[in-house]
Amino acid sequence: MKKNLIIVESPTKSKTISRFLGKNYAVKASMGHLRDLPKSTLGVDVEHDFTPKYINIRGKGDLIRELKAEAAKADKVYLATDPDREGEAISWHLAHILGLDDKSPCRIEFHEITSGAVKEALKHPRSINMSMVDAQQTRRIIDRLVGYKLSPLLWRKVRKGLSAGRVQSVAVKIIADRDKQIDEFVPEEFWTIRAKLREEAKAPLFDAEATKKNGLKLEVRNAQEAMAVEADLKEAAYKVEAAFRKTVSRRALPPFTTSTLQQEASHKLNFTTRRTMMVAQQLYEGVTIGKSSAGLITYMRTDSTRLSEEAVASTRELVTQLFGAEYCPEKPNVFTNKRNAQDAHEAIRPTSVARTPSEMEPYLTKEQFRLYKLIWDRTVASQMTPAEYEQTTLTIGAGAYELKATGSIMTFDGHLRLADKKELNAEKQAEVPFIKSGTVLTLHKVLPGEQHFTEPPAHYTEASLVKKMEEEGIGRPSTYSPIIQTIQTRGYVAREGKKLMATELGIKVADMLTGHFGDIINIPYSAHMENELDAIAAHQVEKEKTLADFYKPFEQLLEEADRVIPKDPPPLQLSGEKCELCGKDMVIREGRFGKFQACSGFPQCHNTKPLLVKIGVPCPNCGGEVTQRRTKTGRVFYGCEHYPVCEFTSWDRPTEKPCPVCGKQLLERVEGNGKVKYFCSDPACTNAAPKRVGRRKKVTTASLMEAENGVAAEKTKKTKTRRKTAKAKTAGTKKRGRKPAVKKAEE
């Protein structure tokens, strides 16, 4: 009997597919890439058409030997990596390692992990698409050139240990520019004036807002002007000058793309982009349902809103069955893609809409269920009829003033049948009765004017940053989450609640890179490069030309920047404290975990201690200053300056506001949805904060010590890494039968 080998990327996927196929199929996982550019050198020959030098990834030797042995026993090897450029490149590397002909029909592709999809793919194997491989290689080589050429420049001009990225730097600049807009924003005061009116004595009341005066837009800028308008309206006679009633439809939203899934999961489930993609990957690769396994959603990296004909037909059938014929439109709903969409895959949808969320809940984790329900609801709703509203608008004359009253009533819920209560409540508007033009109205009362201030643009969140990158054509569905993760890991961006804010280091690096490499590290060029990669994948452009067009100006900019940017590091800033060990001045330095104090006598003296950032609020326990600190993972918390004498610590920011119950200090907590709430700092008070739900660790004196010793922790981590590497080398020599070298003891 013939033996066939199928190689996928993950063990979960291999387990799911194994259950679909017979005993003559073996399914193994490559665990992602097996070859890559070397870490120790550039690995790209810029003199000879940018030829990459690939090596087997360290630590994957045993896996490579296992796959080679399996391939040698198989009559046929199928490469079934993910259906995108990265997956195509992994298949190409696998073909090289296993000695397969990449022009032979060794590649299979499926967009959902179901029995039918996998078996159908096996009937239509193809050769490896070298155009897609070239596009992936081009991105990888450009990112390597930028990272390995720019990072040393940052080491020389800013500080050691920094790294640069072509797209990540643009993302940091976007966030930094928004932060600057917020800092420079000057709020403007304005007032709104409303009146409560009715048609006759017992008729229902409704609100109308003053919008014009003498035919011009009414602008009320202070309390005095507001009081004058209120006085005029109290004396005015009211009459309906125009009345309109119309039916308004609200169409369903399209099925999810990667971008919209990440945004909606952030808004509704409070998931980060990383968490969303991790859970979506689990649903795609497959879950155990009773005695079988199946992937529950289609491939989750896509920019298309298209659904297959089979998916549309089954969804429409389900809608009619569950909700009735009036909820299923006469023709299928069709949605247009964005102008720069590749449309290589379908939208993200359930592999079978017959698997309802309630039926799948017993087989899913809580996170998996919530995300699956979000995808299922969106897919089914996309093929339902529009929601309909009856909208009423009244234009009311009141002397020199004109007022507007607008309201609507939902007459048919349509696709909103699947909306949750929170979404339905957001849809509700005040009811306004339809009153014929010319009708005289009775004034019930003029409401006190409401003071407002114009607000600055909101800080970027992960959701809004993904939306911005998609609008500007920066990155692709598979890169949004890694970009956001990378800029936070590097310390260029900090996350507080849902807000993303550029750190001082991030602003410095972004300004330097965009200032000296503005022709390459900017939004238009990043979008242009994505289009170039698309053209390479479509076999319209040669990768060598794209690489040459990039590298020549980049090399010139690199030489210019190295010459222009000052080589001398900025003078050390004194912290105002003396070293307890040697008496020399302490200076402010910046490390991986932020700023800290270090002895100016380094390297003779290695004393370091944290730089306390005071927030101007007294400690609830002892009255000392509260300081803002960070754990070694970068998360902000608050502690007393007198630690360890005073052990006050809190995730929530202390304020000077008194508790309305007991009078003690209130703590400010930013919820996951961005809302701010205040709780008493005394845990015994009835107004105390409820316990946080989730996996967050409790703040303890130990966590405070982690932040206190951030620099030491960094050194310890490096030491552990060196020991681990040395241990691995020793283990390797033992495995190969050689004795490890033993250093002679000194006499």
Lowest-confidence range among 79-93, 245-259, 680-694, 709-723?
709-723
Q: Clarify whether residues 327 and 401 are in a common domain.
A: no
Q: Say what the pLDDT of residue 708 is.
A: 46
Using CA atoms, how far apart are residues 12 and 16, in angstroms rounded to an integer?
Answer: 6
* Domain ranges, residue 18: 4-128
Instruction: Indicate whether 698 belongs to any domain.
Output: no
DSSP character at residue 706: H
Please state, in angstroms and rounded to a whole number, the distance separating the CA atoms of residues 306 and 382.
11
Q: Are residues 209 and 173 in the same domain?
A: no
CA distance 284 to 346: 13
> What is d(CA 502, CA 181) in angstroms, rounded to the nearest whole number?
12
In Å, what is the CA distance from 192 to each residue of 225, 230, 392, 395, 442? 11, 10, 21, 17, 20
Structure tokens at 517: 């490499």
Question: Of the residues 529, 564, 599, which one is the last residue of a structural domain?
Answer: 564
Tell me, what's the pLDDT at 98?
A: 94
Domain count, the chain: 5
333/378 same-domain check: yes
For residues 108 and 79, membership in a common domain is answered with: yes
Distance between CA 92 and CA 299 in Å, rounded? Answer: 20
15, containing H or E segment: helix 11-18
Q: What is the pLDDT of residues 599-610, one digit of tens each?
A: 988 888 988 887
pLDDT digits (tens, 9 = 90+) for 291-312: 888 899 999 988 889 999 999 9
In a domain, 485, yes or no: yes
Q: What is the DSSP string of 127-184?
A: ---HHHHHHHHHHHHHHHHHHHHHHHHHHHHT-TT----HHHHHHHHHHHHHHHHHHH
Q: Tell me the two tokens of residue 383.
A: 């093929």
Residue 29 inside a domain? The answer is: yes
Name the pLDDT band for 548 (thresholds 50, 70, 90). very high
For residues 214 and 228, state if they share a domain: yes
Q: What is the identity of the amino acid at 427?
A: E
Residue 32 lies in a domain: yes
pLDDT tens readout for residues 356-397? 999 999 999 999 999 999 999 999 999 999 999 999 999 999
Helices (H), 668-709: 701-708
Closest Cα partner for 22 from 4, 43, 40? 4
Alpha-carbon gap, residue 77 to 64, rounded angstroms:
15
Active site residue 678: no
Among the candidates 453, 477, 498, a domain finishes at 453
Query: Are 157 and 174 part of one and the same domain?
Result: yes
Burial class from Cβ neighbours inside 10 Å (0-12, 13-18, 19+) for residue 363 reads middle
What pLDDT does residue 676 have?
A: 77
Residues 9 and 39 in one domain: yes
pLDDT exceeds 80 at position 549: yes
How far apart are alpha carbons 82 and 88 in whole angstroms? 7
Q: How far apart are the two ends of the chain, measured CA to CA in Å?
A: 68
- For residue 522, give the CATH number of its domain: 1.10.460.10
Beta bridge partners of 29: 8
Residue, of 198 and 166, whose pLDDT is higher = 198
Strand partners, 395: 242, 404
How far is residue 514 CA from its own chain's centroid?
23
* Complete DSSP assignment for 504-541: HHHHHHHHHHHHHSTTTSSHHHHHHHHHHHHHHHTTSS
C-alpha–C-alpha distance, residues 18 and 118, integer Å? 10
State pLDDT tens for residues 554-594.
Answer: 999 988 888 888 765 566 778 778 898 888 888 888 765 56
Q: Minimal CA–CA distance to 74: which of 99, 50, 54?
A: 99
Which of 385, 402, 437 is the C-terminal boundary of a domain?
385
Whether 99 is covered by a domain: the verdict is yes
What one-letter code names the amino acid at 522? N
- The tens digit of pLDDT for each residue in 313-332 reads 999 999 999 999 999 999 99
* CA distances, 268 to each of 414, 421, 631 (Å): 21, 12, 28
Q: Which of 284, 299, 327, 372 is catalytic?
A: 299
Same structural domain, 325 and 274 = yes
* Cα torsion angle, 81, 82, 83, 89, sign: negative
In sign, the C-alpha dihedral spanning 533, 535, 541, 546 is negative
Give me the residues paired with residue 635 across strands: none
7, 34 contact by CB (below 8 A): no
Residue 740 lies in a domain: no
> For 657-708, what is each residue's pLDDT tens digit?
888 888 888 988 876 555 678 889 888 888 888 765 544 444 444 444 444 4
Say whether both 320 and 397 belong to one domain.
no
How far apart CA 454 and CA 187 sit, in angstroms, is 5
- Model pLDDT for residues 466-501, shown as the tens digit of each residue: 999 998 888 888 889 999 999 988 888 988 878 899
Residue 436: CB atoms within 10 A of its CB come to 8
How far is 210 from 66, CA to CA, in rounded Å? 77
pTM, full prediction: 0.78
Tens digits of per-residue pLDDT, 12-24? 888 889 888 888 8
Indicate if 174 and 78 belong to the same structural domain.
Answer: no
Angstrom distance (rounded) from CA 513 to CA 504: 14
Average pLDDT over residues 246-272: 94
The token duo for 274 is 């990383």
Residue 461 burial by CB count (10 A; 0-12/13-18/19+): exposed, middle or buried? buried
**Looking at residue 342, what is its pLDDT?**
56
- CATH, residue 407: 2.70.20.10
On whether both 308 and 348 belong to a single domain, the answer is: yes
Instruction: Please say whether the beta carbons of 704 and 649 come within 8 A.
Output: yes
The angle that helices 504-516 and 166-184 make with each other, rounded to 10 degrees, is 110
CA distance linking residue 83 with residue 301, whole number of Å: 9
Whether residues 262 and 381 share a domain: the answer is yes
Which CATH number does the domain housing residue 352 bear? 1.10.290.10
- Asked if the structure places residue 133 within a domain, the reply is no
Stretch 147-153: mean pLDDT = 88
Q: Is residue 736 part of a domain?
A: no
Confidence (pLDDT) at 459: 93
pLDDT of residue 402: 96
User: What Å distances lie between residue 659 and 637, 647, 675, CA to CA?
Assistant: 21, 21, 19
